[in-house]
Amino acid sequence: MTIKMIARAAVFGVLIFLFGEISAYGLEIVMIPVIYYERQGATYVQRTYQKEITADIAARINKYYDVLFDRTPLNDRLAGVTDSDARRVSEYYNVDDILYGTIKDDGNSLLAELKIYNRRRDDYGLFFASDTSNQYERLINTVSDNILEWYYTDRDKVDLLRNELQDLRAEVAAVREDLRRRIRAERDNAREVEKEFALRVPVRVGYWSYVDRLWVELAQGTVEATLGIDMYPELQFSPPFGILNEISWGLNIGYRNGVTGNRGEVLLNGMIINPVMGYHLNFYTDNWLSLGAGMFYELDFWEIEDPEQAKTLSYQQSLTGYSISLDYAYRINARYTVNLGVNLYGYFSSGSALVVKSYLGTLITIYRRAK
């Protein structure tokens, strides 16, 4: 992993944490029904109070926060609401804050004990309030105000965090801009044309044939071997759309040999001299496409056996023309390249057919000099 990737991951993680801190505070509360107990002798017994305790507390809190009511059964009805119930409800509703608790009447006073379980922090907020038995409304107001004050204090922390986040955003924006500037600079440096002079030797073996059917019948099964020299000058084009490219000038010298038995026994030996200019485009990592164009001079020696006259006819042929090549190359390393391509040879003389030459070869770098 690069430094840029680590920096990006760190910035992203900080933002996610801080946004989580802000969004998690008091936005939604699930309230488990408050359990009411009355004193009976030395113990307390669960009873049904004459008023809706849960609804009364929720009505006051709901002015500022969204309060939902839990309708799921308790784990242990005899024990009332437990901390494990709060954790279970939090997971069930996928909400951080769970409000639950009890109100007890000892005959003279009411004692409220409520809790807020926060799943994100895995801790509890405790709220106590007490009043005389005939002051139920005041007790509800007191415990509700305590809960709201707790949230308000927490909201103060959030406001402070929000201010810090704004400062951090400015710092992050500066870091991101610096990263972008560095990335652009690295990309520009990576795409900058390497100023070097290079000499490379193409070595190819291929097969060629005429396009026209009549010429195919005269000469087919022709193989060709080519050796050359390519020069890559220091002067190169700027990368189009950030894609590396090169130009080259070269001279290829080839030998070909062909036989056929369709119209007598024919033996062909030929030599071709082909100066060419190439344009090479790096389309993916070490993969290159090349387009070349040039002129050629061809010298052929034909030997044709005449069965009727029982003799062999020999003659020499000189031709000129143009060449167009399309080549795919995979650069194994800085010295060796594997090439696969095709050449099209067109003759200036009338009556001559177009020649298609496919080949497989290599390109060997014999000299490099960086500027």
Distance CA 346, CA 209 (A): 12
Q: What gap in Å lies between CA 230 and CA 249, rounded to an integer?
A: 6
| Res 227: pLDDT | 95
Pairwise pLDDT comparison (357 vs 240), residue with the higher score: 357
Q: Report the pLDDT averaged over residues 264-273.
A: 82
What share of the chain has pLDDT > 90, as a percent? 41
Q: How far apart are CA 217 and CA 147, in angstroms?
A: 100
Q: Are 83 and 14 in contact (CB under 8 A)?
A: no
Q: How confident is the model at residue 195 (pLDDT cuts 50, 70, 90)?
A: low
Structure-block tokens of residue 127: 């709220």
Q: Are 158 and 18 in contact (CB under 8 A)?
A: no
Q: List the beta bridge partners of residue 283.
A: none
The rounded percent of the chain whose pLDDT value lies above 70 is 77
**Which residue type occupies 297?**
Y
Is the model more confident about 235 or about 169?
A: 169
Query: Is a pLDDT exceeding 80 seen at residue 147?
Result: yes
Domains of the chain in start order, with CATH, are: 3-166 (3.40.50.10610), 196-370 (2.40.160.20)
> Which is more confident, 189 or 246?
246
Q: In terms of pLDDT, which residue wins out, 110 or 221?
A: 110
Backbone angles phi, psi at 116, to 5 degrees: -120, 115
Alpha carbon of 275 to those of 293, 301, 345, 369: distances in Å?
9, 21, 13, 23
**What would the mean pLDDT of 57-77 be, rounded to a whole number?**
84
Give the global pTM.
0.47
Least confident among 82-96, 135-149, 154-168, 198-212 = 154-168
Helix axes 136-191, 3-23, angle to 10 degrees: 160
